[in-house]
């Protein structure tokens, strides 16, 4: 997901200069804890702004996740949008180094005038992952006593009775 933006960086600010390209990556490892199944496809639009570039776009990918209720692995397609600023580290005309970027939310354009969208897309994908991934909306989960997958049917366990409710049981028997 690397693009050469030297020509775009030479354009004057406010000229409406932009560059669009498709994203197609077969095998990408965005994060060690993130499983991507299949290719990543998408589109990116790069526009010249005052300090550097504003890049926005989207990617489609399939994530391999684990259900929070039944612990089964499943695949979930995602459509993730992103928009990030990229500032140069080297002047495109003279080749002299520029002062370091002091903002946390800005990505660098390297000394070869290339933009790598991998980190921006990784962050957008991590934000798109649900906090509680479920294989299906009505996942029944696992039995708390025997661990049986309740999506396959009920188990033979008898429901646990909270010991604190025994007092109520005795009151019912006295009447």
pLDDT per position as a tens digit, 134-164: 999 999 999 988 889 999 999 888 877 778 8
Whether residue 160 is found in the same domain as residue 107: no
Whether residue 123 is found in the same domain as residue 165: no
Whether residue 52 is found in the same domain as residue 32: yes
Other CB atoms within 10 Å distance of the CB of residue 113: 19
Whether residue 135 is found in the same domain as residue 148: no
Give the model's pLDDT for residue 115: 92
Whether residue 132 is found in the same domain as residue 146: no
Q: What is the mean pLDDT of residues 8-31?
A: 85
Whether residue 119 is found in the same domain as residue 47: yes
Structural domains counted in the chain: 2
Whether residue 167 is found in the same domain as residue 108: no
Give the model's pLDDT for residue 125: 93
Strands 106-109 and 114-116: unpaired
Whether residue 122 is found in the same domain as residue 148: no
Whether residue 118 is found in the same domain as residue 154: no
Whether residue 124 is found in the same domain as residue 147: no
Confidence check: pLDDT of 175 > 70: no
Q: How confident is the model at residue 96 (pLDDT cuts 50, 70, 90)?
A: confident
Q: Which domain holds residue 159?
A: 142-175
Whether residue 125 is found in the same domain as residue 58: yes
């Amino acid at each position: 997901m690397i693009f050469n933006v030297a020509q775009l960086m030479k354009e004057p600010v406010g000229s409406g200069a932009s560059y669009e390209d498709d994203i197609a990556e077969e095998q990408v490892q965005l994060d060690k804890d993130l499983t991507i199944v299949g290719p990543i496809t998408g589109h990116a639009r790069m526009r010249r702004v005052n300090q550097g570039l504003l890049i926005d776009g989207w990617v489609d990918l399939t994530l391999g996740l684990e259900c929070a209720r039944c612990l089964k692995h499943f695949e979930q397609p995602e459509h993730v949008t992103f928009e990030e600023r990229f500032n140069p580290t080297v002047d495109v005309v003279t080749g002299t180094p520029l002062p370091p970027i002091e903002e946390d939310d800005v990505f660098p354009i390297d000394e070869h005038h290339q933009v790598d969208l991998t980190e921006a897309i990784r962050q957008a994908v991590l934000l798109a992952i649900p906090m509680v991934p479920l294989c299906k909306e009505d996942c029944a989960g696992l039995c708390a006593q025997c661990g049986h997958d309740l999506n396959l049917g009920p188990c033979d366990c008898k429901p646990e009775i909270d010991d604190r409710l025994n007092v109520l049981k005795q009151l019912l028997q006295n009447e």
